[in-house]
Structure 1
Amino acid sequence: MEFADTERLKFSYITADEADFLWELDQDEEVMKHLNGGVKTTREEIETVFLPRLAAYANPALGWGLWKVILKDSDEPIGWILVRPYGFFTSHPEVDNIELGWRFKRAFWGKGYATEAAQGIRDGLASTGISKFSAVTLPENENSIAIMKKLGMTYSHSQFYEDSVFSEDVVVYSQCV
């Protein structure tokens, strides 16, 4: 699957060959603040945890995986959009409910890139018949919640989310298109 460019952005499917980019993005404590309390990801964690998890849900034909977000005017990679079935790493994954997530370099926060990218990916997936989308974050992550609302998502519920690497109370926002 491919996704159409947006006004300012283009997308590229992330593979294990892009471990350097994934590691670089995780080296800012502010980027990691609402993921793990601000701890930078080690190179070993990228190789032994992050990439195997990505491989578990990656399905390029369905658009599942990570999509590098690149500025069209400079070819600079600025972040990524996650696409996978909601609850993939739990005992009850929902293949008819696609989870969207995002991580961007701090220098590109507050410019509408995450919203534009997530909207472009969501619209591309919706054109294939997918009609439900969700996003998850910690309750105090006001910036991500603002993006969810800009995407048209509304608060669905709070829950304790746990898988092999994450264990936190989260809020879930969803949208049917």
Structure 2
Amino acid sequence: MQPSSLRLNYSFITEKDIDDLYQLDQDPAVMKYLNGGKPTTMEEKHTVFLPRMAKYANKEKGWGLWKVNIKESGEFIGWILVRPMHFFNDEADTEWHNLELGWRFKQSSWGKGYATEAANALVEQIALMPEYTHISAIALKENVGSIGVMEKLGMTFVKEYMHNDPLGDIPAVYYERRL
């Protein structure tokens, strides 16, 4: 899978991208709806984030984090997550027909349509693979920016629920779209 779009470049994230991942998490505004605004430490990146990412990363299937850079400047602005929905809990779609999308972008890139453009580039690639029937995303209901991206991707509200995750359960809204 190799996503492409008009303004952005994409590459599959590996542990070599740790510095970009760390820097992104240093902005409290970026982290607001993830952990209340607390910057992630480099130790947390190495001991929690990278091992967790390694459990689902599979470039051939498109599962993992996709680094997003602006074509014109080469600037790293964020990433898009693709993995089976509910990968880390007992509700897992064991046949992996439903892929979860997620995103994290630098505050300087907000409001420019980059998250929607990047997520849509991944959705276009996912839609070419017949084994996937749905795309989904979750967010805190207060995260209107992420919910806006979900809606622009054609996802619709399914439910408000307690999302279970080994890192901590969160009250979330769940959006989904059939491919």
TM-score, with length taken from structure 1: 0.97
Match in the other structure for 1:144: 146
SS of the residue corresponding to residue 61 of structure 1 reads helix
Match in the other structure for 1:106: 107
Aligned length: 176
Match in the other structure for 1:70: 69
Q: Post-superposition shift, 1:19?
A: 0.8
Which residue, 151, 156, 159 being the options, matches 2:158?
156
Please show how residues 120-139 of structure 1 align to structure 2 within 5 Å. Answer: 120-129=121-130, 130-139=132-141
RMSD between aligned alpha carbons? 0.8
Distance 1:63 1:122 in 2: 10
Q: Post-superposition shift, 1:131?
A: 2.5
Match in the other structure for 2:27: 28
Distance 2:162 2:13 in 1: 29
Distance 1:84 1:166 in 2: 18
Distance 2:168 2:120 in 1: 26
Q: Post-superposition shift, 1:125?
A: 0.8
Distance 2:175 2:29 in 1: 22
Q: Post-superposition shift, 1:81?
A: 0.1
Distance 1:122 1:166 in 2: 27
Distance 1:161 1:31 in 2: 20
Distance 1:54 1:136 in 2: 18
Q: Post-superposition shift, 1:76?
A: 1.0
Distance 2:168 2:106 in 1: 22
- Runs (5+) with no aligned partner, structure 1: none
Code of the residue aligned with 1:110 in structure 2: it is G
Distance 1:124 1:70 in 2: 18
1:173 maps to 2:175: yes
SS of the residue corresponding to residue 10 of structure 1 reads strand
1:46 maps to 2:45: yes
Match in the other structure for 1:37: 36
Q: Post-superposition shift, 1:67?
A: 0.1
Code of the residue aligned with 1:151 in structure 2: it is L
Distance 1:103 1:163 in 2: 18
SS of the residue corresponding to residue 21 of structure 2 reads helix
Match in the other structure for 1:79: 78
Q: Post-superposition shift, 1:166?
A: 2.6
Distance 1:91 1:74 in 2: 42
